[in-house]
Amino acid sequence: MINPRDCKQGLPMRFLSLPLLPLVLAACSPDLDLTPPGSQAVPLYDQSPERTDLDRLSYLGGVTLTNPDERFGGFSALTLSPDGSRLLAVSDSAYWMTANIGWNETDGSLSVGAFSISPILSRSGDPLDGRAADSEAIADLGGGVHAVSFEREHRINTYALGEDWSRLDSVGEAFPAPPGADDFVDNGGMEGLTSLPDGALLAGIEGGSDGVHPLWLHRDGSWARSELAAAPDYGLTALDYHDGHVYALERFWQSGIGNRIRILRFPAAALDTGGRIEPDLLGTLEAGKAVDNFEGLAITERGDHTVLLVMSDDNYSRSQRTLLLAFQLD
């Protein structure tokens, strides 16, 4: 047994062998968490782990992400590298997180590791904190530039991160917010951002009314509003464009019921019609399935298939998980 006094007086030679070193470090540093960061596979259905069907989607696999770093968690948006081998996420506390994704070429399942976390900087170059730090969505604008939207202090910044995300210490640059942004609900602002092939930026507002989620499209220096039909009591939490379509997440939560998530899709061309957009429902996550507070969405291609990744915001709560799930569009 290791005597705590040995930690103060210097460790005896018998403890300095490599096999015992982790135990020694844990005994001498009671606050040290030796749990390694990584990912653990999760089934889609709690009671039927062999099932992979989800309406118009097929489950490729999912993981619970873990990391002892106290900054880890609260991830509200993500984007992927062009080859789908890396992810970039933003958190509710204004941190960037990058990680590597390993895809099993046999069944398409995934694993995640090599996490890196760094602060998102303000327009003055300082780490964001307080109300200014609630980053909620990210969009790749091309050329290594990414847009990030914020709630509470409703605004959009752009960051020149580089194509390989090597400049996460980039200072934020102002981007014009949609009209009336100051009046967005305190915790219900621009939860979704995505760019379109023509360079337009689409922002989705979580807090809607009259059965719609407001959508704002920035093109040629001005914003135009459209509307996405909303399910009752659902908020919009994510957007991503891929191959002529905009994909979206809707979230419902109620005490005693928990989270319900709807995965949606609509043609991007519908944004130009000026009418109310009725999306297609691709799948629903709810009790009995791998479900949590999903706020991140990214689309990629694996082989000849469209693959959707969804990521949950654990709200830094021990009762929630950081899930990353992969689905193939049937």
At 36 the pLDDT is 58
Residue 143 token pair: 């050329």
Buried b (16+ CB within 10 A) or exposed e, 268-295: bebbeeeeebebeebbbbeeebbbbbbb
| Position 274, amino acid | G
For residues 196 and 247, give the distance between their C-alpha atoms in angstroms, rounded to a whole number: 12
CATH fold of 35-329: Tachylectin-2; Chain A (2.115.10)
Residue 48 token pair: 């039927």
C-alpha distances (whole Å) from 299 to each of 148, 228, 240, 280, 309 are 18, 20, 7, 16, 6
For the chain, the structural domain boundaries read: 1-34, 35-329
For residues 117 and 274, give the distance between their C-alpha atoms in angstroms, rounded to a whole number: 41
Q: Helix or strand or coil: residue 90?
A: strand
Spans in the chain with pLDDT lower than 50: 1-35
At 32 the pLDDT is 31
pLDDT digits 0-9 by tens, 196-218: 999 999 999 998 778 999 999 99
User: Could you tell me the sign of the dihedral formed by the alpha carbons of 148, 149, 151, 153, in that order?
Assistant: positive
pLDDT digits 0-9 by tens, 251-274: 999 988 999 999 999 999 999 988
